[in-house]
Amino acid sequence: MIQLVSFYIFASIVIASAAMVIFARNPVHSVLWLIVAFFNAAGLMVLIGAEFIAMLLVIVYVGAVAVLFLFVVMMLDIDFAELRAGFVKNVPLGLLLAVVLAAELVLGIGAYQAGAVALGTPEAGAATVSAAVPNIEAIGGLLYSKYVFMFETAGLILLVAMVGAIVLTHRKSHGTRGQSISSQVQRRPEDATRNVNQPVGQGIEL
Amino acid sequence: MELNASLSLVRPEIILSFSALALLLLAAWKDQAGRLISILAVAALGAAAAFTASALGSGASAPAFDGLMVNDAFGNFSKLLIYIAAAVSLTIAPRFLEKAGAMRAEYPVLIVLSCIGMGIMVSATDLISLYIGLELQSLSAYVLASFVRSDGRSAEAGLKYFVLGGLASGMLLFGASLVYGFAGSTSFAAIGLAMDKEVGLGLIFGIVFILSGLAFKISAAPFHMWTPDVYEGAPTPVTAFFASAPKVAAIALLMRVVLEAFGSQVLVWQQIIIAVALMSIIIGAVGAIGQQNLKRLMAYSSINNVGFILIGLATGTEQGIAAMLVYLTIYVAMTLGGFVCLMQLKDKDGNYREEFADIAGLSKTRPALAAAFAIFMFSLAGIPPLFGFWGKLVVFNAAVAAGLLPLAVIGIAASVIGAFYYLKVVKVMYFDDAADVIADSDDKVLVWTGGILAAANSPLGYFAIPVLGVWTAVAAKALF
């Protein structure tokens, strides 16, 4: 019962916030609505027992993708009114796309009605997961045993991405003053200060 | 225990990973250490090559990581070729990059990282390891292409390569997901078993997409459009690298996928490979005719050569695979030699020249360079006394033995068209009036590398045939 109720709550919020993504006038609001949609989609995933995908949605989509969107939208000063200006001109193209999408929907529903596609069955040796193991644990078990080498290599790919980004964008500019830790540490009080017996009325020497 | 056994089978990759990390740290501590790190990177590649060679000598074949990868003679032979090609492209680079103001420590580090990816590619026996290896190699390659970022052409090459390479990866992944869905497994062996039973439309779609993605990576027509632009724009040592090591890796990967995963249904992919081979040969030959830039010319020559190599794959026989490996080995020597010669074309102000007009009458001013260049061109054209002829001969032999006579005949006809532009280079160098723009080369490394490669491509190369024949036969056996 509680599951049914939460399903309807999550599902209706997903649909409503997805509609708001389109209808919101302010692009920043659109992105915020998108984040709401992602959160509720994660709730739906928890309901069907896919905790891992739920966490992935929150961490990857909300934490990284949507926030990145937000940054892009806020940093690029896009005039959306200007973008919408060509609406009438682009109506035929938009209608054409709508027709194509509608046809795809009809085809998709037709294919669904026609019955399941015969997918391949895993060979006998494939690892079967017992229902008692939560799927995060099952994925972790595989990731750190069979796929450990691939997992580490994926780390190397990220390293390449990082090195690449630095190689292609980092510039040594001459105007900046970098920190030299060793000379900071080596500096003694007597290098930096001096004691002066200042006579009165003479003025100071800088 | 199982993990230890697996780790000992990927020893070359582990050596290279740790060296790459150590070199990166060294680069962070020491400024302007590009040359030192290049030397250390070559040493690391040498160590990895030594382990690979010892494994190749034992000839054993063992699966690692529960069937994700395999350590066999085929993979080890390809790895050896890749490491040598990468070491050569590291050795020839410093002068060129210093002139461009880009001899930074990341160049050797990225090449070593890309070699790890290529090592995984050639020993992958699972769609997951295939993709991880391919992506590690490609991502390093995108950065290398735009390494000289002050040069607009280099930046353009990197961007083009990145966008089109991303598209190809997408196609490959889409195909992989279809194959996984319809075969029920990502492992090559299990896909092979599933295909033994029946091949549905979904599976064929998947195969077509995987082959398209890989055809892009080996720059085979009709997925070759990026090649001339990227080869022209990338710094010449990087182009030499692109034309040799990654090509070996991607072709070896293609061979393993096609034979181990789809091997039970030869007819499904044979037509595709034949079509791609023919298109590459013809487009490579015809497209090169109008080129004025020598780097673009080499790009079309590499498309052309990939076509010839694919003829061996189209046979689907052990003889064909051995022939491909022979051709690949010779091709690496030819193309590296060609680029080493190109890099010696410097004018008196030290600027690099790469146009046809610059090499006019080169035989009068730089006879040795012109002779070496001529050897590589004749060898690429496959003209008999030179070593390049042998590669074409074994591939066509395999095609005829497998009953693909028409394919062999068209291939030979197209290689005659291709000979035209190779000979044009020789004609311009030997019979045109001297343009006298090319100065004496002051880079002894290039002179020596060029000399050694020219000797390997000269008829002297035939002394290598017994060794090469035995090794390629052992390597080809591992796939069947």
Q: Is the pLDDT of residue A29 over 80?
A: yes
Query: Is A78's pLDDT higher than 80?
Result: no
pLDDT at residue A87 in the model: 75
Element (H, E) at B64: strand B62-64
- Which chain A residues are within 8 Å of B8, Cβ to Cβ? none
Give the closest of B66, B136, B149 to A153, CB-based: B136
State the Cα–Cα distance between residues B223 and B209, nearest whole angstrom: 12
**A86 secondary structure, DSSP code:** G
Burial group, residue B198, by CB count within 10 angstroms (0-12, 13-18, 19+): exposed
How many angstroms separate the CA atoms of B326 and B470, rounded? 10
Give residue B82's pLDDT: 95
Residue A124 has pLDDT above 70, yes or no: no
The residues with which A76 forms a beta bridge, in sequence order, are none
pLDDT of residue A67: 83
Query: A120–B185: do the CB atoms touch at under 8 Å?
Result: yes
Q: Is the pLDDT of residue A127 over 80?
A: no
The domain ranges of chain B are: 265-479
- For chains A and B, what is the number of CB pairs under 8 angstroms? 94
With CA atoms as reference, the chain B residue closest to A124 would be B190
Query: How deeply is B224 buried, as exposed, middle or buried, from its count of CB atoms within 10 A (0-12, 13-18, 19+)?
Result: buried
Burial of residue B50, with CB atoms counted within 10 A of its CB: 0-12 exposed, 13-18 middle, 19 or more buried: middle
pLDDT at residue number B350? 78
Which segment of A30-39, A146-155, B433-442 scores lowest on mean pLDDT? B433-442
Best B132, B138, B185, B187 residue to mutate vs chain A (most A CBs within 10 Å): B132
Contact B386, B380 (CB under 8 A): no
* Chain B contacts to A (CB-CB under 8 A): 3, 6-7, 10, 17, 20, 24, 64-66, 68-69, 104, 106, 109-110, 113, 116-117, 120, 128-129, 132-133, 135-136, 139-140, 142-143, 146-147, 149, 158, 180-185, 190, 193-194, 200, 202
Q: Is the distance from CB of B295 to CB of B239 less than 8 angstroms? A: yes
Q: Which amino acid is at B461?
A: G
Q: Chain B: nearest CA to A81, how far in angstroms?
A: 30
Give the separation between CA B127 and CA B132, rounded to whole angstroms. 9
Q: Could B68 and A160 be called an inter-chain contact, meaning their C-beta atoms sit closer than 8 Å?
A: no
Q: How far is A25 from chain B (nearest CA, A)?
A: 32
pLDDT at A126 over 60: no
What sign for the dihedral angle of Cα A180, A183, A188, A191? negative
Instruction: State residue A133's pLDDT score.
Output: 81
Chain A residue closest in CA terms to B1: A145
Residues of B within 8 A of A168 (CB-CB) are: 143, 146, 149, 158
* pLDDT reported for residue B57: 78
Whether B228 contacts B301, CB under 8 Å: no
Q: What is the DSSP letter of B223?
A: S
Q: Which chain B residues are within 8 Å of A117, Cβ to Cβ? A: 202
Q: Do A161 and B136 touch (CB under 8 A)?
A: no
Q: Tell me how far apart the terminal alpha carbons of chain B are, to the nearest angstrom.
A: 29
Residue A53: other Cβ atoms inside 10 A = 17
Nearest CA in chain B to A165: B143
In DSSP notation, B320-343 reads: HHHHHHHHHHHHHHHHHHHHHHHH
Residues of chain A with pLDDT > 70: what percent?
Answer: 90
The Cα–Cα gap between B30 and B21 comes to 14
Q: Does the pLDDT at position A96 exceed 80?
A: yes
Which residue in chain A is spatially nearest to B155 when comparing CA positions? A168
Contact across the interface for A164 and B104, Cβ inside 8 Å:
no
The span from the CA of B447 to the CA of B452, in Å, is 9
The predicted pLDDT at position A146 comes to: 86
CA B118 to chain centre: 10
- Over residues A116-122, the mean pLDDT reads 73
Angle at B141 (CA atoms; ends A66, B263), nearest 5 degrees: 95
Give the mean pLDDT of A75-84. 71
* Residue, of A83 and A70, whose pLDDT is higher: A70
Q: What are the Cα distances from residue B411, in Å, to B134, B224, B250, B399?
A: 29, 18, 22, 10
B316, two tokens: 């689907």
Angstrom CA distances, A34 to A8, A112, A171, B199, B430, stand at: 19, 28, 36, 42, 68
User: Would strands B62-64 and B69-71 be described as parallel, antiparallel, or unpaired?
Assistant: antiparallel
- The answer to whether B312 touches B397, Cβ cutoff 8 Å, is no
In 3D, which of B124, B215, B123, B230 has the Cα closest to residue B171?
A: B215
Q: Which residues in chain B are contacts of A170 at CB distance < 8 A?
A: none
Is B132's CB within 8 Å of A157's CB? yes
Closest to A160 (Cβ–Cβ): which among B64, B140, B200? B140
Q: What does the pLDDT read at residue A80?
A: 66
Nearest to A157 among B68, B136, B147 (CB): B136
Binary contact (B143, A167; C-beta < 8 A) = yes
Of A125, A150, A167, the CB nearest to B68: A150
d(CA B193, CA A123): 9
Phi, psi of B278 (to 5 degrees): -65, -45
The pLDDT of residue A69 is above 60? yes
User: Which CATH architecture describes the domain A1-79?
Assistant: Up-down Bundle (1.20)
| Optimal mutation site among B6, B14, B140, interface A, most CBs of chain A within 10 A | B140
Please determine, for residue A123, whether its predicted confidence score (pLDDT) is greater than 70: no
- Could you give the CA distance from residue B17 to residue B4 in angstroms, rounded to a whole number? 17
State the angle between helix axes of B106-122 and B11-29 in degrees (0 to 180), rounded to the nearest 10: 170
Mean pLDDT, contiguous 10-residue spans, chain B (480 residues): 82 93 90 86 93 83 86 92 94 87 88 95 93 95 90 90 94 93 88 83 90 93 91 92 94 93 85 92 88 90 92 90 92 92 84 83 85 90 86 91 89 86 87 78 82 84 84 86
Test the B interface: residue of A149, A169, A172 with most B CBs within 10 Å: A149
Cα–Cα distance for residue pair B154/B136, rounded to 1 Å: 20
Contact B330, B447 (CB under 8 A): no
> Count of alpha carbons within 13 Å of B27, Cβ hemisphere only?
23
Q: Looking at per-residue confidence, does A116 or A126 come out higher? A: A116
C-beta atoms surrounding B218 within 10 Å: 25
Comparing A96 with A72, which gets the higher pLDDT? A96
Q: Which of A120, A164, A167 sits opposite B181 (nearest CB)?
A: A120
Contact residues on chain A for B106, CB-CB shorter than 8 A: 163, 166-167
Cβ-based neighbours of A54, under 8 Å, separated by 6 or more: A42, A43, A45, A46
Contacts of A153 in chain B (CB under 8 A): 116-117, 120, 132-133, 136
Given an 8 Å threshold on Cβ–Cβ distance, is A121 in contact with B184?
yes
How far A154 CA lies from chain B's nearest CA (Å)?
7
**What local confidence, expressed as pLDDT, does residue B351 receive?**
82
Q: Which of B95, B82, B221 is nearest to B140 (CA)?
A: B82
Residues in chain B: 480
Domains of chain A by residue range: 1-79, 133-167
* Separation in Å, CA of B62 to nearest CA in chain A: 16
Residue that wins the pLDDT comparison between B425 and A81: B425
Closest CA to B74 of B258, B262, B207: B258
Q: Would you state the structure tokens that stand for residue B66, as one six-digit string?
A: 């529960």
Separation in Å, CA of B272 to nearest CA in chain A: 24
Q: Omega of the bond prior to B222 within 30 degrees of 0, cis?
A: yes
Contacts of B66 in chain A (CB under 8 A): 146
Chain B residues with CB under 8 Å of A145 CB are 3
CB B476 within 8 A of CB B74: yes
B185–A122 C-beta distance less than 8 A? yes
Which residue, among B435, B190, B397, has the nearest Cα to B308 in the 3D structure?
A: B397
Is the distance from CB of B311 to CB of B220 less than 8 angstroms? no
* Best A144, A159, A167, A181 residue to mutate vs chain B (most B CBs within 10 Å): A167
